[in-house]
Amino acid sequence: MAAETEQHGERADQIRDYIDRIPPLSTTVTKVLEVCNRPNTSANDLNKIISFDPVLTGRVLRLINSSFYSLPEQVSSLTRAIIMLGINTVKNLALSTAVARTINAMQSQQLLPSDQFWTHSLTVGLTAKALAARTGVDDRAHDDFFVAGLLHDLGKMPLLQCFAADYASALQTAREQQIPLYRAEEQMFGFHHGWVGQEIGERWKLSSTICECMGGHHDVSKGPRESQGVVATVALANSFACHESIGFAGDSFPDSEQMSQALQFLKLAPADMEQLKQTVQPELEKAQAFIKVL
């Protein structure tokens, strides 16, 4: 057991080392480079292209919230970040992040294809935003729900990149035993992508709500009461994307118990989710058309 804990500790250290080097999803890289290399990139295009990539969104928010910026209130909106940092700073940040690559990207891409992962993340973001509107959340907070949904699975990337072979085994276990992926991750690593996601959120100084969504979207009941609504929304959006098989982030057998819990918490019925599809699908298609790589 001691040896196992030690191994977990080493893995956790490797993950922490990797967090600062996470590259954006290759799905969006071409478009990011194209948009940012234009001499007169518009704020709207910049906002759109960044908001479609969980890593880039996280990095821009990280820059504005990081310790040297030390603003009194954390910024969780990309629009606000662009106003405060200016187009050029954000553009250069996106460019420098977009050109970063990892050596084993090829191997990990076969395990969890980037375009599928991207579609899943975006669907969860869009669904969380639509759910926020459906459950009467204040208009001004809708974007926070989108960002929380978009980033929820970011914790999978370091696991995938640092331990591709072990992650392949975890994916296989989930498939063979028909269990949620996070359980298979737990068996393999002693922790799951929620912990890694929370670690990313804290290191990048993202808002506490986003951190809790990254950490708690597989355990709605944990976490502070004030963020349970947004965590439940993201958990439900995640279950929805998995059940509907829109995109793929490795989870073929999501926790159905959790979906019921989240529905109950948000006082929604399964039929409400059917209606959501009509809102989310056209938004997703618009995003796909913008990226034009799918």
List interacting residues with another protein (CB under 8 A). Answer: 42-45, 47, 63, 66-72, 77, 79-80, 82-84, 86-89, 139-140, 142-143
- Give me 15's structure tokens: 């993950």
3-state secondary structure of 96: helix
Distance of closest approach, residue 105 Cβ to another protein, in angstroms: 23
Helix orientation angle between 78-85 and 142-151, rounded to the nearest 10 degrees: 100
Distance of closest approach, residue 239 Cβ to another protein, in angstroms: 26
The CA dihedral of 211, 182, 153, 193, to the nearest 10 degrees, is 60
Q: Which of 176, 173, 180 is nearest to 242 (CA)?
A: 180
Query: In this structure, how many other beta carbons lie within 10 angstroms of the beta carbon of residue 256?
Result: 12
Q: Which is nearer to another protein, 43 or 111 (CB)?
A: 43
Q: What would the DSSP string read from start to end of 97-112?
A: HHT---TTHHHHHHHS
Distance of closest approach, residue 11 Cβ to another protein, in angstroms: 24
What is the DSSP secondary structure assignment for residue 227, as one 8-state letter? Answer: G
Residue type, 83: I
The stretches of the chain forming alpha helices (DSSP H) are: 2-19, 26-37, 43-51, 54-65, 78-85, 87-98, 105-111, 114-134, 142-151, 156-162, 164-177, 181-189, 193-203, 208-216, 228-243, 256-265, 270-291
Q: Which is nearer to another protein, 135 or 252 (CB)?
A: 135
Distance of closest approach, residue 139 Cβ to another protein, in angstroms: 7
Q: Which is nearer to another protein, 4 or 139 (CB)?
A: 139
* Structural contact between residues 178 and 218, judged by C-beta atoms closer than 8 angstroms: no
Q: Which is nearer to another protein, 71 or 106 (CB)?
A: 71
Distance of closest approach, residue 63 Cβ to another protein, in angstroms: 7
CA-angle at 29, arms to 23 and 31, nearest 5°:
155
Q: Which is nearer to another protein, 48 or 175 (CB)?
A: 48
Q: Which is nearer to another protein, 39 or 269 (CB)?
A: 39
Distance of closest approach, residue 160 Cβ to another protein, in angstroms: 25
Distance of closest approach, residue 21 Cβ to another protein, in angstroms: 12
Q: Which is nearer to another protein, 27 or 65 (CB)?
A: 65
